[in-house]
Structure 1
Amino acid sequence: MKYVFALLLILTTFTTASAQFSDSVHYYGKFASMGSINTTQDGRAYLLNNSFKVGVSKKKISLNGSGGWIYGQQDGTLTNNDFASALDFSLFRSVRQIYYWGLATYDKSYSLKINDRFQGGAGIAYNLLDSKKAYLSLSDGLLFETSNLFLEDTIPDIYHTFRNSFRLLYKFVIHDIVVIDGAHFLQNSLSLGRDFNIKSTSNLSILLNKWLSITATLTYNKLNRTGRENLLFNYGLTVEKYF
């Protein structure tokens, strides 16, 4: 949990400093609550997926913090208790086609058998499209990872590795009503070829007004080191505000 507190402290410090020394600071907030309940004569299953994102930006730099918690059970058996948090920054993203990024994440996942995992690193990105209604970016960089995993549910696996992190990021707005966005990562270990992570999130939102939308989200995660993966489809409400 010390990594979570560190991320929140950095975000708070940056936000306070920006508000004091700049008149062109912009803020962003987003919260989504999704889930599903299925009850039949043969069983009961439910899943809750809550996430948030906050950000502060100026002309040349932006900083974002995000977090999420997924909890689920099936017939009284725990299937998901997954927590993730992240802090990222972008330098020159809004003024240059090529920009720089940094990232720090901390997560725990019952479904993927992650007891603790921290990643931190930086890299370079390229904007293929960058307009109000169409955004497409490719990035690559180097991450350091320290992990405490479970192999075959009970065998501890504590290790460190460097990873190449490739990302595809996009957002498209159709007729100011439909929004399609997503972020997809492929992270390969530099020391072991069969050690790789896949993270994929795709969202489809229908805007009810400027700050409220109905959102469907498809999330896929694969941790090849533990042989675990999950695929989640949720729908619910998203509150999003720029100010």
Structure 2
Amino acid sequence: MRRICIIAIGLCTMQLTGYTQFSDSVDYYINFAGTGNLNRTNTGTTYLLNNAMRFQVDKKKFSINSMASHVFGRNPNLKTNDDFLATLNLDILKAVQKFYYWGLAGYEKSFSLKVDNRFQAGAGVGFTFVDSPSANLELSDGFLFETTDLGIPDRTGRTSYQTVRNSLRLKFRFVIKEIFRFNGINFYQPAISDGRDYILKLNTNFSIRLYKWLNFTTSFNYNRQNITSTENLLMSYGLSLEKFF
């Protein structure tokens, strides 16, 4: 009888939140998340490691959010993921009114999506429909300039190009009785010159509080680059640890 041993490396998410009070109230937030899974059989080992760090500064009239993540995966035959993403986002007037402005700069390198280098920068507007401790719903739109180097030719035979994209973002968060949490950030980015050239990014998380610092968490991530017909799908689950001070 073939022996199959599947080991799941639980999610380990450490959240450190520090607050320093100035005349206009400045809040600092830092988050590190390490996730992964391992599948070992008599034919070999398959594993996936996903690490991400976030840092945020909030003031009354603006906030700065930065994020860096790296995903690495391999199966018995080949490497499946070696994906790096870093973004820097600025929101203006978001905390004082429903209508706000945003600016974004981002860099991406993805083995699974066949992207050697991608840089995006742009700005736009957003609207906050709901913003409370238990619920948040935002919709934003704008334009991004992009320069990209691909690892494989796209549908038109290009491996390097520049374009302008419309960037539509939906962000949400819901908390029920401080026990159940459901949140996500989703992007749809079609090129202005060619609607078939679009980028789709979906990120959704659901967690259940087991103790004041301990949660059971499930995550869903989907990314698609339509111009090269490449995509990846990541699903993970485990435990997350939180500490606020």
Structures share fold, TM-score greater than 0.5? yes
Alpha-carbon distance in 1 for matches of 2:36, 2:158: 31
Alpha-carbon distance in 1 for matches of 2:242, 2:103: 24
Structure 1 residues 211 and 25, CA gap change in structure 2 (3 angstroms): farther
AA aligned opposite 1:54 = F
Equivalent in the alignment of 1:96: 97
CA contact (8 A) 2:74 2:80 kept: yes
Equivalent in the alignment of 2:106: 105
AA aligned opposite 1:158 = S
TM-score by length of 1: 0.86
1:130 maps onto 2:131 in alignment:
yes
CA contact (8 A) 2:153 2:159 kept: no
Q: 1:214 aligns with which of 212, 216, 236?
A: 216
Taking every aligned residue pair, what percent have the same amino acid on both sides?
47
Deviation at 1:103, TM superposition (A): 0.7
Structure 1 residues 210 and 148, CA gap change in structure 2 (3 angstroms): farther
CA contact (8 A) 2:126 2:141 kept: yes
Structure 1 counterpart SS, 2:151: strand
Q: 1:205 aligns with which of 189, 201, 207?
A: 207
Equivalent in the alignment of 1:9: none
Equivalent in the alignment of 1:158: 160
Deviation at 1:130, TM superposition (A): 1.1
Aligned-residue Cα RMSD (Å) equals 2.0
Equivalent in the alignment of 1:45: 46
Structure 1 counterpart SS, 2:42: coil
Alpha-carbon distance in 1 for matches of 2:102, 2:242: 23
Provide Cα deviations, 1:112-156, integer angstroms capped at 9, x if missing partner.
001000001111111111111000011100000010012269x86
Deviation at 1:91, TM superposition (A): 0.7
Alpha-carbon distance in 1 for matches of 2:222, 2:238: 18
Equivalent in the alignment of 1:169: 171
Alpha-carbon distance in 2 for matches of 1:93, 1:240: 26
TM-score by length of 2: 0.85
Structure 1 residues 41 and 156, CA gap change in structure 2 (3 angstroms): farther
Structure 1 residues 101 and 58, CA gap change in structure 2 (3 angstroms): same
Alpha-carbon distance in 2 for matches of 1:190, 1:83: 25
Structure 1 residues 201 and 135, CA gap change in structure 2 (3 angstroms): same
Alpha-carbon distance in 2 for matches of 1:128, 1:170: 10
Equivalent in the alignment of 1:31: 32
Alpha-carbon distance in 2 for matches of 1:109, 1:70: 9
Equivalent in the alignment of 2:230: 228
Deviation at 1:206, TM superposition (A): 2.3
Alpha-carbon distance in 1 for matches of 2:213, 2:64: 21
CA contact (8 A) 1:31 1:240 kept: no
Provide Cα deviations, 1:142-198, integer angstroms capped at 9, x if missing partner.
000010012269x86111000000010000111101111000000010111211000
CA contact (8 A) 2:24 2:60 kept: no
